[in-house]
Structure 1
Amino acid sequence: MHCLKSLRTANPGILQLFKNAGISSRGGADNIVLSRTQQPVPLPCWAAASHHTHRAFHQKGPDADPGHPKSRFMSSMEDLLFYTITEGKETIPLPQFISALRKTGLLTSDPRLSDCVREMRQSSRDSVGPVMMDKKLFRRCAGNNIMLLTKAFRKKFIIPNFDELTQQIDRMYDSVADYIPQLAKFSPDLWGVSLCTIDGQRHSVGDTKVPFCLQSCVKPLEYAIAVHEFGTEHVHRFVGKEPSGFKFNKLSLNDEDKPHNPMVNAGAIVISSLLKPHSNKAERFDYVMDFLKSLAGTEYVGFSNATFQSERETGDRNYAIGYYLKEKRCFPENADMMAALDFYFQLCSIEVNCDSGSVMAATLANGGICPITGERVLSTEAVRNTLSLMHSCGMYDFSGQFAFHVGLPAKSGISGAVLLVVPNVMGMMCWSPPLDRLGNSVRGIHFCQDLLSHFNFHNYDNLRHFTKKHDPRRRSDEDPNKSVVNLMFAAYSGDLTALRRFALSALNMEQRDYDSRTALHVAAAEGHVEAVVFLTEVCKVNPHMKDRWGNTAIDDAMQFGHDVVVSVLQEYQRGYTDSDVDAPCDTEEQKITPDTLKGIV
């Protein structure tokens, strides 16, 4: 049988967490029983409002006032997060922490984690042997990132089970070549896929660091910049909004003698003439480059001068389009047609890789806010209009087919790139040079179709009634029946790791099953002392709740002869009152709301 003496020896970190909440061990013959030496730390109003809210964040940070309730609150959040990551251990190797971080989708290159990475590097330099992550180091690393890390490990990102999504992406990446007979004619060497969610979760597979030119993928980006700067009405005085039905480089205009849309060459050339019209060539180019670098966060954005020179020498069709536009007076007044063409060639020659392209796409998916820097780059109006045009006109002559089968905004380029946006979820960049007869990447098109066959990202997929497709945005705790089963099974098996994870996710730890039993009933009946101590002293669950037969948790422990559990529950009941969870927030110490939580950090 378990005893609390062995519990202290085996897992002192949990008991330290209890002490921080005001619990200590009592000596003497009865030393196996935990006793309260002081009142629990007052809980914030939003955490203590009812029995159906999780209540377990307490204590202080390393550089904060130990007596301040906000300090206690944040420090105990760090402690609970630490033991969730380490599965109850006092120390883990630093690579294990980094691996756990990557499973959530966060990379060490994320600029939001710069302080955390700096602390880890400093510890590596100061250490002679392998670096071990303990609570002290974790607090230094997590100090400025506690909100981000808590959100990650609580699985509150847009893709909660990111590891499952990336495994499926990897399988699709590997399977593409096997399903496309046309690829036998092309070199299979270069093929990369990167994704970035609106929360900054990242994944890459294949040749994602190889630079390539944006080519036509720059068209929606320059259009977004133009709308951001001048507004929709001004921009569409010079360019239309409708699909053309013709090839992207055809000399044709709509009934109003305007280019059909900004995604064809004629429209993109006119848009180029709108950007910084009174600046010199260098200033105009730097202006757009700065925008694109902001869209890509800290990722690579470069320029291929060789491609630019080649475009200028061989762009006869674009020169013809330029003169046709000039003859039809499509340019703004006093615009220089040759300067606009030169600028357009420059923009097409801007280089990115899959990683930076995916962040650009994610910025569009996130309403114009870069997910890894948090910077507002584009207005919501510009993003909305850009995505609408990408959906209807972004894939050359394949746009209708793509909208039908994939149903997402996308833009392809003759470099083999496909920029894909899943609005409010993520952005992707696929790159493979072999093209089909319409100028789209063969692998990229098939990958997008495969993606939509597995996941219900299509704009018109039903999010409530679906059978074959998987929704990676769906959280397991959204199903109340499943959450009850998972909680009860964790209590039955004494799985402290799972219980910590549920507590960190703000799950109601007092949920009842069909027999009105709580997790405390189950843990007490099975004699799991650690689980009982965690549920009572950390989660502060109600010990007086009765099942359908009128039994409390202590009754179950007595019935099955678990004396240590009985002692723990008796001691807990003596200090427990309903006011522990229902006390009104009438003191200054307790007035902590979710809105002020970021200010605490």
Structure 2
Amino acid sequence: CYTCLYSFCLKENCHHITQCQCPFLSCFRRRKAGILPSLEDLLFYSIAEGQERIPAHKFITALKATGLRTGDPRLKECMDMLKVTLKSTSDGVMLDRHLFKKCVQSNIVLLTQAFRKKFVIPDFQPFASHIDTLYEKARKLSGGLVADYIPQIAKFSPDLWAVSLCTVDGQRHTVGDTKVPFCLQSCVKPLKYAIAVHDHGTEYVHQFIGKEPSGLRFNKLFLNEDGKDYNHQLQHDCSLLLSENSNAEKFDYLMNFLKKMAGNEYVGFSNATFQSERESGDRNFAIGYYLKEKKCFPDGTDMTSVLDLYFQLCSIEVTCESASVMAATLANGGFCPITGERVLSPEAVRDTLSLMHSCGMYDFSGQFAFHVGLPAKSGVAGGILLVVPNVMGIMCWSPPLDKLGNSVRGIQFCTVCECSFLSFQVKSVINLLFAAYTGDLSALRRFALSSVDMEQRDYDSRTALHIAAAEGHTEVVRFLLEACKVNPGPKDRWGNTPIDEATHFGHHEVLALLQEYSGKHNPPVHADADKQSTEKHLDGMLET
């Protein structure tokens, strides 16, 4: 049964149920009639594991395990209906299939994608645990100094440390002081550049701004051979934003734009930081007058007004959580992952990520690009905005800075975390084999329902069937052979089959089962074709 994964006799016109106590006989009858269950039914059965009702908290726990949050704007209808439905039930806890369907039907496509592991990180919990481990390693670092030239930043404790991530599918994970507001500072520069390109296009913006890393300190008075700023990491691209409007209108526009990028999560403003920035901004004024002399601003620009707007933008507050959604919007081609709204044009995203990759980390940009290879932008408040294109956005924040002005803990985390983006899919193999090793039939059912390849192999070419046979887990072997239709005779790197494993360890019942299915197995024509047609049908249901 593709719904509950219990086994039925598949002989022609036979309705005898074998090895099955499945309460959902309608599932079988629908299957016999050639009708697949609805997406809502599939989701219910995958969570219920043979029960007629499920506790609401079990659904919420399973949902969080996919990386989605109950507060996700895309799940608002589902969560609202769940609250209303539970109030109307006798015990306020349990959901039967019909009540469950009523709750989830408005958001069934997103929920089905989550539970079928169709997200960019299919096995989210192991990945999140690995992020937590890397976070703890970086937390132990004690080097660096908190920036002291802005009093409001100098007040931050050097022990503050937070990491938050948001994938392009809206999966979220946070660890540490992720709800503490801090100012974006220079992390705002790629964001305002992206808005400028979105509004005016690349050609116009780059009449005034270059595209090259300078190799010099970020606050050097120096232009390229064309008489332009080397890249967008200085302040004068503020002059390109709504040039005909007042500073108040520009600031409101930019704040609203950033809130859209953050999925309407926290974006605030620190007036005290703004006042401090302006009072201690002599070098920025010097750079501004130098740029004005070299005609790096559009005609008619009020340089003092531009600097005020620049200081205001640097004083915009975020939390790690809201900033990670901003980064994820860049990773997602300009679409906010948690609202689905198109915020930035593809051109703006492309150019912003290119400049972040080459120029985003001050004098450390070359080394960061070499060792990490991902677009990023740091700021003197201790933030690092990291983008993994087509995968996720991350915000790291810890106030102590190294001598180049980058967060000590943030640099460490980004350097070691880069390997995780290459290896997170390997985790599904580990989880599958561990479930077979421990005899966890419930976990194996969830993997099968989530479209996991049940014949995946480890580095020794051993499958879940090898492991289950070696451990003598008869019901796991039966499930893999009957429900999942795996090949009963795969060979590992030493040429051993599951039959060899069962023989070697003296598991006679498992051996008999494997021998029975070895005689029946026909390499994968109708079984795989049936599974593929089911998968194709489900995918079609998701697309309509």
C-alpha contact 1:88 1:497 (8 A) present in aligned 2: no
Find the counterpart in structure 2 of residue 19 from structure 1. Answer: 26
Per-residue CA deviations over 1:234-284 (Å, capped at 9, x if unaligned) read 111100011112211122111111111001x2xx32x10001111222221
- Shift, 1:215, TM fit: 0.8
CA distance in 2, matches of 1:312, 1:527: 73
Per-residue CA deviations over 1:364-391 (Å, capped at 9, x if unaligned) read 1111111111111112221111111111
- Structure 1, gaps ≥5 residues long: 24-38, 44-57, 60-73, 458-462, 464-470, 549-559, 570-577
RMSD, aligned CA: 4.3
Find the counterpart in structure 2 of residue 551 from structure 1. Answer: none
For 1:447-486, what aligned pairs fall within 5 Å after superposition? 447-452=413-418, 455=419, 457=421, 471-474=423-426, 476=428
Find the counterpart in structure 1 of residue 176 from structure 2. Answer: 206
Find the counterpart in structure 1 of residue 444 from structure 2. Answer: 498
- Shift, 1:507, TM fit: 5.2
CA distance in 2, matches of 1:440, 1:40: 63
Find the counterpart in structure 1 of residue 212 from structure 2. Answer: 242
Find the counterpart in structure 1 of residue 390 from structure 2. Answer: 424
How many residue pairs get aligned? The number is 487
- Shift, 1:169, TM fit: 1.4
Find the counterpart in structure 1 of residue 13 from structure 2. Answer: none
Find the counterpart in structure 2 of residue 50 from structure 1. Answer: none
Find the counterpart in structure 2 of residue 51 from structure 1. Answer: none
- Shift, 1:435, TM fit: 1.7
C-alpha contact 2:439 2:476 (8 A) present in aligned 1: no
Aligned to 1:332, which of 298, 301, 311? 298
For 1:564-583, what aligned pairs fall within 5 Å after superposition? none
Aligned to 1:351, which of 271, 294, 317? 317
CA distance in 1, matches of 2:476, 2:375: 54
Find the counterpart in structure 2 of residue 40 from structure 1. Answer: 32
C-alpha contact 1:196 1:426 (8 A) present in aligned 2: yes
CA distance in 2, matches of 1:502, 1:87: 12
Distance 1:80 1:321, change over 3 A: same
CA distance in 2, matches of 1:391, 1:283: 31
Distance 1:184 1:280, change over 3 A: closer
Per-residue CA deviations over 1:177-211 (Å, capped at 9, x if unaligned) read 32444479994432111011111110001111111
Other structure's SS at 2:163 match: strand
For 1:29-68, what aligned pairs fall within 5 Å after superposition? 40-42=32-34, 58-59=36-37
Matching residue's letter, 1:340: V
Aligned to 2:125, which of 163, 174, 198? 163
- Shift, 1:109, TM fit: 1.3
Find the counterpart in structure 2 of residue 231 from structure 1. Answer: 201
* Aligned: 1:81 with 2:43: yes
For 1:271-290, what aligned pairs fall within 5 Å after superposition? 271-290=237-256
CA distance in 2, matches of 1:230, 1:83: 51
Aligned to 1:259, which of 226, 229, 237? 229
Other structure's SS at 2:45 match: helix
Other structure's SS at 1:144 match: helix
Distance 1:183 1:232, change over 3 A: closer
Find the counterpart in structure 2 of residue 96 from structure 1. Answer: 58
Other structure's SS at 1:351 match: strand
Matching residue's letter, 1:195: L
Matching residue's letter, 2:94: M
Other structure's SS at 1:420 match: strand
* Aligned: 1:191 with 2:191: no
Other structure's SS at 2:329 match: helix
Matching residue's letter, 1:597: M
Q: Percent identity?
A: 54
Per-residue CA deviations over 1:546-601 (Å, capped at 9, x if unaligned) read 999xxxxxxxxxxx99xxx9xxx9xxxxxxxx89x88xx9xxxx9x967752465x
C-alpha contact 2:116 2:449 (8 A) present in aligned 1: no
CA distance in 2, matches of 1:40, 1:476: 32
CA distance in 2, matches of 1:307, 1:504: 49
* Aligned: 1:149 with 2:80: no
**What TM-score, normalized by structure 2, do the two folds share?**
0.77
Distance 1:496 1:348, change over 3 A: closer
Distance 1:319 1:153, change over 3 A: same
Find the counterpart in structure 2 of residue 444 from structure 1. Answer: 410
- Shift, 1:358, TM fit: 0.5
**What TM-score, normalized by structure 1, do the two folds share?**
0.71
Runs (4+) of structure 1 exceeding 3 A deviation are 123-130, 179-189, 473-477, 506-509, 525-532, 545-548, 592-596
Matching residue's letter, 1:145: N
Higher Cα Rg, which structure: 1
Per-residue CA deviations over 1:92-125 (Å, capped at 9, x if unaligned) read 3322321221111111111111111112222344
Distance 1:81 1:150, change over 3 A: same
Find the counterpart in structure 2 of residue 71 from structure 1. Answer: none
C-alpha contact 2:126 2:427 (8 A) present in aligned 1: no
Find the counterpart in structure 2 of residue 33 from structure 1. Answer: none
C-alpha contact 2:331 2:390 (8 A) present in aligned 1: yes
Distance 1:324 1:353, change over 3 A: same
Matching residue's letter, 1:40: K
CA distance in 1, matches of 2:129, 2:488: 44
C-alpha contact 2:398 2:409 (8 A) present in aligned 1: yes
Find the counterpart in structure 2 of residue 177 from structure 1. Answer: 139
